[in-house]
Amino acid sequence: MVRFGLLGCGRIGQVHARAIQASPDAKLVAVADAFDAPAQALAAGTDAEVRKAADIIEGDDIDAVLIGTPTTTHYDLIHQAARAKKAIFCEKPVDLSSERVRDCVEVVNQNGVMFLTAFNRRFDPNFANLQNRIAGGDIGDVELVTILSRDPSPPPINYIRTSGGLFRDMMIHDLDMARFILGEEPVTVFAVGSSLVDPEIGKAGDVDTAAVTLTTGSGKICQISNSRRAAYGYDQRLEVHGSKGMLRAENILENTVEMATQTGFARAPAQHFFLERYEAAYLAEITHFIDCLKNGTNPSPHIEDGLRAQILADAAAKSQETGMPVSV
């Protein structure tokens, strides 16, 4: 039985709390939040008790710390938890600065603690199935990867301002997915971006529409595009072209009903956003982490994966600013 302490009782913390409770091999022992109300609310709905974060991290009855707090707090919490020899499940991004992520890698490695960087999409059953078949050689060698990823609507402008920008906040998922699928590290990054969705995003110094091209040492190519808005729901697609064929994962629609009328055939919009779209992924993610603790195996994606994705996001941001490709 893996005993969890949860740091951060916001939206994503609640998702993970439910996933922990659904596991027969885990128990949510304690929760902490900077604000009392969400912590109390989450504790009330579970058997967990409310504690201070430091007490959770140091607690003898805690095996693993799940970090779902704001990104700026990750650095300190990772250091404390690593030194307290706790296994760490940390939301993405590890930190907005690659330098600081490197420090985290060091403290995690020095203390030999388990660490999972929560790139949830790797655990989506569809994307996982696709990657598994690539690894099994179903389409031969990977040549061209196309990732289309669009949010249903932009976050509040205040969120944008502290988000680290589209490449570090949103596209980092796709950059990790690119590494997951390419099976080889990208060596050049070229990015373009525009503010087409909301001029306020442009004024805040960010872009809301962007495209990235990655190339690897052996010449594999990956194209990613992002938009902060999609009228038809949360658009999450992945396609891989290989020497023997093509694999792609389509969107999941809200239902399977199709209506045919004079204007044609109509189906439902895509599932609206990530809580719904990646519900199964969140469950699989926590299950993988628990299994690793039970079996003493190393979680994947590890903190190094968090670092590599961060480096690609930094490179993309730099490329978009300078208009030049960036080597990594």
Q: Is 318 in the site for a second copy (CB under 8 A)?
A: no
Q: Which two tokens stand for residue 55?
A: 């007490």
Q: Is 227 in the site for a second copy (CB under 8 A)?
A: yes
- 49's CB contacts (< 8 A; 6+ apart) are 29, 30, 31, 43
Q: Which of 95, 151, 169, 235 binds a second copy (CB under 8 A)?
A: 235
Q: How far is the CB of 81 from a second copy (least distance, A)?
A: 31
Which residues in 121-208 belong to E strands, given as ranges? 142-150, 186-194
Give the Å distances, CA to CA, from 34 to 10, 38, 50, 54, 269.
10, 9, 11, 12, 37
Beta pairing partners, 235: 150
Q: Is 213 in the site for a second copy (CB under 8 A)?
A: yes
Backbone angles phi, psi at 266, to 5 degrees: -125, 130
Instruction: Identify whether the C-beta of residue 4 lies closer than 8 Å to the C-beta of residue 20.
Output: yes
Which range, of 54-62, 98-106, 191-199, 292-300, touches a second copy by CB under 8 A? 191-199
CA 318 – CA 328 distance, rounded (Å): 11
Nearer to a second copy, 126 or 287 (CB): 126
Four-point Cα dihedral 8, 13, 16, 22, nearest 10? 100
Binders of a second copy among 151-190, rule CB under 8 A? 188, 190
Which range, of 60-68, 114-122, 237-245, 296-304, touches a second copy by CB under 8 A? 237-245
Nearer to a second copy, 97 or 225 (CB): 225
CA 96 – CA 166 distance, rounded (Å): 12
Residue 106: how many other CB atoms lie within 10 Å: 13
Binders of a second copy among 5-24, rule CB under 8 A? 24
Nearer to a second copy, 124 or 305 (CB): 124
Site string for a second copy, 260-279 (x = CB under 8 A): xxxxxxxxxxx---------
Binders of a second copy among 49-88, rule CB under 8 A? none
Q: Is 250 in the site for a second copy (CB under 8 A)?
A: yes
Which range, of 69-77, 97-105, 157-165, 229-237, touches a second copy by CB under 8 A? 229-237
**Signed CA dihedral, 105, 107, 110, 112: sign only:** negative
Q: How many residues bind a second copy (CB under 8 A)?
A: 72
Q: How far is the CB of 3 from a second copy (least distance, A)?
A: 19
Nearer to a second copy, 152 or 306 (CB): 152
Q: Is 243 in the site for a second copy (CB under 8 A)?
A: yes
Residue 274: how many other CB atoms lie within 10 Å: 20
CA 265 – CA 260 distance, rounded (Å): 4
Q: How far is the CB of 325 from a second copy (least distance, A)?
A: 6
Nearest to 104 by CA among 120, 119, 118, 88: 88
Q: Which of 197, 292, 303, 326 binds a second copy (CB under 8 A)?
A: 197
Nearer to a second copy, 111 or 146 (CB): 146
Binders of a second copy among 92-131, rule CB under 8 A? 125-126, 129-130
Q: Is 203 in the site for a second copy (CB under 8 A)?
A: no
